[in-house]
Amino acid sequence: MRIKILGSAAGGGFPQWNCNCGNCAGLRNGSIHAHARTQTQIAFTVDSKIWFLIGASPDLRTQILATPELTPNGNSATASPIGGIFLPSADTDSLMGLLHLREFQSFFVFATASLQKIVKKENRIFSVLDRADPPVQWQTLSARGRLGCHLSESPGEAPAFICATFPLGDTYPDYVSAELVRTMAPEEATIGFSFEHAGKSLLVAPSLCGRNSEWTKLAASSDVTLIDGTFWSDDELRRTGRSNKTARDIGHLPLSGTAGLLEQFPRNARGRHILIHINNTNPILDEDSPEHSAVLDAGFEIAYDGMDIEL
Amino acid sequence: MRIKILGSAAGGGFPQWNCNCGNCAGLRNGSIHAHARTQTQIAFTVDSKIWFLIGASPDLRTQILATPELTPNGNSATASPIGGIFLPSADTDSLMGLLHLREFQSFFVFATASLQKIVKKENRIFSVLDRADPPVQWQTLSARGRLGCHLSESPGEAPAFICATFPLGDTYPDYVSAELVRTMAPEEATIGFSFEHAGKSLLVAPSLCGRNSEWTKLAASSDVTLIDGTFWSDDELRRTGRSNKTARDIGHLPLSGTAGLLEQFPRNARGRHILIHINNTNPILDEDSPEHSAVLDAGFEIAYDGMDIEL
C-alpha cells in the first residue's frame, strides 16, 4: 500500500484566510519556523494505478493538481486514476470537496446511510455529481463493518483490500436539521477506517471525540496510524480569540492534558503514528516550540503536505 | 476603483483535475504555450481598505492566500478586509466558495431572493456561515435595480459605490428542485452587475445566455467590461469529448460563429473589454493559436490570474 498525505491541516487550513493568530501571522511574515498546510486529505493505492481518497477536502482541486500520481492518464478526456472516495463524516472540511469532482467523472463514494441522507435530502447541490454518465455510485458503509473492495469486476477474485469501519464520534454537524438528526443513528456521525492489504493495515482517525476508546486497540496493532492532531490544549480556540468553544466541544480530544491523546495513546503501539488534521492555532506547527518537540519525543510524527508513506 | 482578477477560468479551472484534452494535457506536459488559471473570481475596492468579492469560487481559499491585499490586518484574530460578496447565480462555481468563508467571520452577502431560497431551503450546509457572531448578513438584490452601498454606518453619507443589476440568464442550475424553480422568477437566475464609483463603471457579465441583449448597451458605455469568454465555438465540449451539450445549452454564448460574442459586441465600445471565465477547452488559452490572435485583433484582452486593473 502506498499512502500520500495531500493535506494535513484542520478545517480552514494553515494559514486560515481570515486569521491573524500568532501561528498564521508568524507564517505569513516569516517570524516562525513553520510550513503552510492545506486541509486534511489522504490518498492511497494498493496497485499503483487506482487511487482512493479518504475524505473530500475543500482544497481537493489544488491537491490533485499538486500530485502527479493523480494526473489523468490514457486517451479518454475523463480518465482520472481516482476510483473512489471514503467519507468519514458530513463535516464541511471532509465533504465540501466532492463538489470539486463534478466534471463528468464517474467514481464510487463510500459513506454511511446517514451521511447519504444528509447529502441527498438536505443538500441538493451535491446532485451535480449525477451529471457524470454513468453517475457517481454511492456505496453504503455501516458504522461497524468490514467491506471487501475489488478493483476489477472479474468474478471470484479476492478483494484487493478490506475497509473496516468503526464509530468515532456521535454528533452530526450543526447544519443538519434536528428532524433529520432524529432519524439517524449517532454512531454513523463520524467513522474511522482501517484499510488492510497484504498483511498490513492503515488506521485513519483524524477526529477523536474522546467519548469512546475503541480506537486504542486498533492504534496499538496498526502499521500506520493517522490520528487526530487538531489541538494541543482544550482551551486553544478561546486563548487565540477564534471561538468560545473547547476542543472537546467540537469533537477533538486535545493532545495535552489529563486524558489527552498523548496520555491515552497505547504505549506499546507497534506501527508509525502520525498526527494529522492540525489546526492553525496548534503550537506544534511552530517547529521551534516546546510542544513540537514534546510530540516528537513522545514518538509521534507530524504529517505534512506531500508526505509519502510506503507500507 | 481597483479591480483584481483572482481567477479567470470557467468551472473546474485550467487544467481540470480529470481532463486530458489538448489544452489540459498540453499545459501539463509543456507542449503548448499557456498559463494555468483558477476558477473565476473578481475582487474590487473603492477605498483600498474594504474589498468586495464578485462570486465565491471553489478556489477562493487559495485565491485569497495568493492576494496580499486580502490578508487579515489589525489585532483581531478575525480581521479580514473582505466586507461583502455579490453573487451572480447559484451555479456551483460561483457559490461553492462561500463554504471557504466559514471561519467565524461576519460579512455581507448580496444575492437575489431566489438565490437565497436555493441556499436556505435546499442546501443547509451553507448555514455554517451562521456560526459567525454576528452571523453573515444576507442582503436582497433585485434582478433589475440600483443599490447604494455604504462603507460606514455614518447617517446621511453618500453611498461609496452603486451596484446596478440586470438579468443575464433565465435558467436555474439542474440541482435545484423543480418545485422550487416553479416559485422563482426566471430573471433572478443569473444577474449581471455594473459597479459605479467616481464617474467610472465596471461591467461584470461572465455568463451570457444569448437570449437577451440588454448587456450590449452597458458594454458600449462601461469603462471596463469583464465578459463571457467561456467557449470559442458552440460545439466545443462535444469535440473535446467532455459533454454532448453545446455552449448555448449550458448558458454561454460562444465567442465565434453567427451571433457569437465577437459579432454581437458593440463596435463603438469605449472602455477596455476583457474576456473572463475561460473554459479549459477554449483554444484561446493556447497563446500561439489563431483563435488567441483573433480575439486580441478584435480588441479584447484575455483575463489572467493576478490581473490588476486601475479604474
CB A283 within 8 A of CB A291: yes
Residues of A with Cβ-Cβ distance to B62 under 8 angstroms: 59, 62
Of A41-45, A275-279, B131-135, where does mean pLDDT reach its minimum? B131-135
Which residue of chain B is at minimal alpha-carbon distance from A90? B125
pLDDT tens digits for range B231-258: 999 999 888 877 888 999 888 999 999 9
Q: Which residues of A touch B250 (CB under 8 A)?
A: none
The answer to whether the pTM exceeds 0.90 is yes
Residues in chain B within 8 Å Cβ distance of A70: 17
Residues of A with Cβ-Cβ distance to B67 under 8 angstroms = none
pLDDT at B155: 78
pLDDT (average), residues A116-123 = 97
Is it the case that residue B134 has pLDDT exceeding 90? no
> Which of A125, A126, A180, A281 is best to mutate for the B interface (most B CBs within 10 A)?
A125
Give the model's confidence band at B83: pLDDT under 50 very low, under 70 low, under 90 confident, else very high: very high
Cβ contact (<8 Å) for A92 and B64? no
How high is the pLDDT of residue B241?
77
> Pick from B11, B76, B240: which is nearest to A20 by CB?
B76
Closest CA to B57 of B4, B102, B12, B19: B12
Read off the pLDDT of each residue in A209-221 and give the average, rounded to a whole number.
91
All cell numbers assigned to A117: 441522507
| pLDDT tops 90 at residue B74 | no
- Of the pLDDT bands very low, low, confident and very high (cuts 50, 70, 90), residue A76 is low
Mean pLDDT of chain A: 94
Contact flag A75-B243 (C-beta cutoff 8 Å) = no
The kind and range of the H/E element at B166 are: strand B161-169
Contacting residues of A for B174, CB less than 8 Å apart: 127-128, 131
Q: What is the pLDDT of residue A77?
A: 59
Query: Each residue of A20-36: pLDDT tens digit?
Result: 899 999 999 999 999 99
Q: How confident is the model at residue A15 (pLDDT cuts 50, 70, 90)?
A: very high
Smallest Cβ–Cβ distance between A127 and the set B60, B82, B175 belongs to B175
Mutation for testing the A interface, residue in B18, B236, B240, B249 having most A CBs under 10 Å: B18
pLDDT(B76) > 70: no
Share of chain B above pLDDT 90, in %: 84
User: What pLDDT was estimated at residue A50?
Assistant: 94
Chain B CB contacts of A184 below 8 Å: none
Q: How distant is the Cα of B62 from the closest Cα of chain A, in angstroms?
A: 8
Amino acid at position A175, single letter: Y
Our CA-based measurement puts residue B95 at a distance from the nearest CA of chain A, in whole angstroms, of: 10
Report the length, in residues, of chain B. Answer: 311
Cell numbers placing A47: 496497485
Residue A63 has what DSSP assignment? Answer: H
Q: Is B53 helix (H, G, I), strand (E, B) or coil?
A: strand
Contacts of A175 in chain B (CB under 8 A): 124-128
Give the mean model confidence (pLDDT) for residues A255-269: 95
Query: Residue range B2-6: average pLDDT?
Result: 98
Average pLDDT rounded to a whole number, residues B34-62: 97
- For B76, name the nearest residue in chain A, comparing CA atoms only: A20
Q: pLDDT tens across B257-267, in order?
A: 999 999 999 99
Instruction: Kindly state the cell numbers that stand for B191.
Output: 444577474
Mutate to test the interface with A, among B16, B172, B177 (most CBs of A within 10 A): B16
| pLDDT score, position B70 | 96
- Residue of chain A whose Cα is closest to the Cα of B126: A175
For residue B96, the chain A residues in CB contact (below 8 A) are 96, 99, 125
What ipTM does this complex have? 0.95
Mean pLDDT, residues A268-281 taken together: 96
In this structure, the number of other CB atoms found within 10 A of the CB of residue B108 comes to: 15
Which of A21, A61, A131 minimises the CB distance to B77?
Answer: A21
pLDDT band at A241 (very low <50, low <70, confident <90, very high): confident
Question: Cα dihedral sign for A113, A114, A116, A120?
Answer: positive
User: CA–CA separation, A284 vs A291, rounded Å?
Assistant: 5
Contacts of B30 (CB under 8 A, 6+ apart): none
Whether A62 sits inside 8 A of B62 (CB atoms) is: yes
DSSP letters for A187-243? GGSEEEEEEEETTEEEEEES---SS--HHHHHHHH-SEEEEE-S-SSTTHHHHTTS-
Percent share of chain A, pLDDT over 70: 99
Cβ separation of A62 and B59 shorter than 8 Å?
yes
Residue whose C-alpha cell reads 437565497 in the numeric block: B116
Q: In this complex, do B65 and A17 lie within 8 Å of one another by their Cβ atoms?
A: yes
The yes-or-no verdict on residue B137 having pLDDT over 90 is yes
pLDDT score for A132:
84
Q: Which residues contact B184 (CB under 8 A, 6 or more apart)?
A: B114, B117, B172
Residue A290 has pLDDT above 70, yes or no: yes
With a cut of 70, say whether residue B77 has pLDDT above it: no
Nearest Cα neighbor of B4 from B229, B307, B310 is B307
- The two beta strands, B301-302 and B272-276, are parallel
Closest Cβ–Cβ partner in B19, B60, B174 for A72: B19
Compute the average pLDDT of residues B9-22. Answer: 94
How distant is the Cα of B65 from the closest Cα of chain A, in angstroms?
6
Over 70: is that where the pLDDT of A39 sits?
yes
Test B78 with A19 for CB contact under 8 angstroms.
yes
Model pLDDT, residue A133: 82
Q: What is the pLDDT of residues B152-211, one digit of tens each?
A: 878 788 999 999 999 999 999 999 999 999 999 999 999 999 999 999 999 999 999 888
Residue A242 has pLDDT above 90, yes or no: no
**Residue B149, min C-alpha distance to chain A (Å):** 23
Whether residue B33 has pLDDT greater than 70: yes
If we measure between CA atoms, which residue out of A77, A94, A6, A89 comes closest to residue A45? A6
Indicate whether A78 pLDDT > 70. no
